[in-house]
Structure 1
Amino acid sequence: MGSPKLTKETMLAQQYDARDNKLHLNEVPIPEPRDHEVLVKIACASLCHSDVMLFEPNDQGLILGKNPVTIGHEATGVVVSTGSGEAASNFKEGDKVGFICAVECCYDCDPCRKTHNAWCQTGKTKMQGFTLDGYFAEYVCVDARATMVLPDGIDVKSAAPLFCAGVTAYHSVEDCELKPGQWMAIIGCGGLGHLGIQYARAMGYNVIGLDIADQALEEAKKCGADHVFNSKTDNDWQKKVLEITGGGVDAAVNFTASKKSYDDAPAIIKPGLGLLMIVGIPREPLQLNALDIALGRYRVKGSNNGTCYNMRPAIEFSAKHNIKPHLTLYKLEELPKMVELMNFHKAQGRMGVVFD
């Protein structure tokens, strides 16, 4: 993809409207970058389950900031122009870039540096795709401080999933702090999980893939899972996992939005040593047994999305180990179909839109 030239003032964008709970393909103005921003022509935008949560009732803190709002928070693209600020001056026209969706935060306080931009001490953080316009559009302005030039080996037209699913999956796996040869269960082998399996294998772990969709389990096998089980149709899957692992997995990473999968997970975790890594966000709050936690039956950690500080190591690891998202491509006007496929667990890997 060469250096894009801006020759128009409006663009097409897929916008969610809370008034009818539907998507609308609207013509909207192309934004202009502020001092700290770069204007990017989107090369690829991919769909995340968090985007679909806009259409669902939930009590997990997902807030719509403007209406209608352009959805999407996973994308890569090419720099068209830059603001006049110092951070923006690090980029030039034609740079192939990826970015994360947290904006309007300081990027400098302890929460921004060490935890997540959502907890910025300024209290001003907004998320593109939710509280501000996101990436299912032809152009977007992103904060230069949350943007990076793609390393060699990362394709701008297929790398969009790495900038949410990839960063999340990488850190979810890495933060389990296992040793090579230990057992990890990847719960949910779809858009996030198929990447999690690849990261786990690249780190030397033995992997069991769990899902309720056979096509996701087929993808898990292709990504290197040692064993896979359909937890919906195989009545003995928990017993089999315990037998294979000699008493339970050392870590179970849950990428699903299924409360039942969280309820089922402790039974396959090695008592006293194992870890439940919380990534996927169900509609309902989780219910953990306080006695289990107090007596050390298993530990609990969380990991979701990333910051501009931990984005780069995830992307560079992906380039080094040839981590590739399975990406099925659609047209921008087909985004409602993509949402439907995700809702009915018919998607394999990630679904995305590639722009000309």
Structure 2
Amino acid sequence: MKAQQYDARDNKLHLNEVPIPEPRDHELLVKIGCASLCHSDVMLFEPNDQGLILGQNPVTIGHEGTGTVVKSGSSEAASKFKEGDAVGFICAVECCFECKQCKQTHNAWCETGKTKMQGFSLDGYFAEYAIVDAREAMVLPQGLDPKSAAPLFCAGVTAYHGVEDCGLEPGQWMAIIGCGGLGHLGVQYAKAMGYKVIGLDIADQALEEAKNCGADHVFNSMTDQDWKKKVIEITGGGVDAAVNFTASKKSYDDAPDIIRPGLGLLMVVGIPRQPLTLNALDIALGRYRVKGSNNGTCYNMRPAIEFSAKHNIKPHLSTYPLEDVPKMVELMNSHKAQGRMGVVFD
């Protein structure tokens, strides 16, 4: 089969011919219907000190996928799936799924220390077929198509929990910082939950997408010098939560200025190359709170996907052939992409 593989020796992608893998007892072999590109995939190509670990080299990239079951293993979890099932899945594998960290925090912190992430330390989904752990998979709800739903299985789960975990009440104000691949979904989730939404970005096409998704107000934080003042005026003192989906450290530095003092929350989702800088006095005196949200586990994946199906949350997906994944990477790096980019397989 064909697979887009990252090779650290030249820091490039290569379209390679590789064997179709065989599932182990706890795994499924899935014919990929759709694989989509996430910003963390692009982090493979750039220096970072945020803990991104490359395992095998070369490695098939991609950790957002949906498809159709071709073959299943013999374990209890795998035997729940049958050939032809339309499925979505997330990428943490080789962990125990049973320890407190796996169940309540994230599989990355599994007490076994053996967790690997597909697309980084093991082969991912920009290939015609992929192996997935049956415990990380679910049958798609009615209304979700394996040819288009891939972005929901990282971007969707991440955006849903980034918004939902803020714990706001309907009618409160939320800022969505970064209205691209993650943020345009975040706007949809926030509106479906009854929040008033301000979209912030430096790309006008992303702001246009935010408006299309229902944002009440949008601002270009690069070209509008008064954007902070306007946000404070519109919200009557600041947003109740600011959810940052970007990889921009500057956007994190700016965020406290638009959060309602003493009540507001900064939700950390996007991962800049550099560590964040927080003012310890602000935190100690309760100017704002800081919380994090991650890309999901098998324990919180299902609510996000079922909410998406119920409320018709749809990713804006631009599609390309498998050969053009390097072009997709270039578009993401240049901030010229709108919504999510993906490959749809025959």
TM-score range, shorter chain: over 0.9
Equivalent residue, structure 2, for 1:155: 145
1:178 counterpart (168, 173, 188): 168
| 2-structure distance, mates of 1:340, 1:286 | 25
Give the 3-state SS of the residue equivalent to 2:79 in structure 1: helix
Equivalent residue, structure 1, for 2:52: 62
| 2-structure distance, mates of 1:209, 1:133 | 35
| 2-structure distance, mates of 1:248, 1:120 | 38
Q: Normalization by structure 1: what TM-score? A: 0.97
Give the 3-state SS of the residue equivalent to 1:81 in structure 2: strand
| Pair 1:31-2:21 in alignment | yes
Question: When the two structures are aligned, how many residues end up with a matched partner?
Answer: 346
2:87 counterpart (80, 97, 118): 97
Equivalent residue, structure 2, for 1:320: 310
| 1-structure distance, mates of 2:306, 2:280 | 39
Give the 3-state SS of the residue equivalent to 1:308 in structure 2: coil
1:77 counterpart (59, 67, 82): 67
Q: Map 1:1-356; keep pairs closer than 5 Å.
A: 11-356=1-346
Unpaired stretches in structure 1, ≥5 consecutive residues? 1-10
| 2-structure distance, mates of 1:274, 1:303 | 16
- Displacement of 1:156: 1.1
Superposed CA deviations along residues 91-148 of structure 1, whole A, max 9, x for unmatched, are: 0000000000000001111111111000001100000000000000000110000000
| 1-structure distance, mates of 2:113, 2:44 | 22
- Displacement of 1:151: 0.3
> Which 4+ runs in 1 deviate beyond 3 A?
none
| 2-structure distance, mates of 1:86, 1:217 | 46
Give the 3-state SS of the residue equivalent to 2:9 in structure 1: coil
| 1-structure distance, mates of 2:307, 2:132 | 23
- Displacement of 1:23: 0.1
Give the 3-state SS of the residue equivalent to 1:215 in structure 2: helix
Superposed CA deviations along residues 167-203 of structure 1, whole A, max 9, x for unmatched, are: 0000000000000000000000000000000000000
Give the 3-state SS of the residue equivalent to 1:329 in structure 2: strand
Q: Normalization by structure 2: what TM-score? A: 1.00
Give the 3-state SS of the residue equivalent to 2:18 in structure 1: strand
Equivalent residue, structure 2, for 1:8: none
Equivalent residue, structure 2, for 1:6: none
| 2-structure distance, mates of 1:333, 1:290 | 47
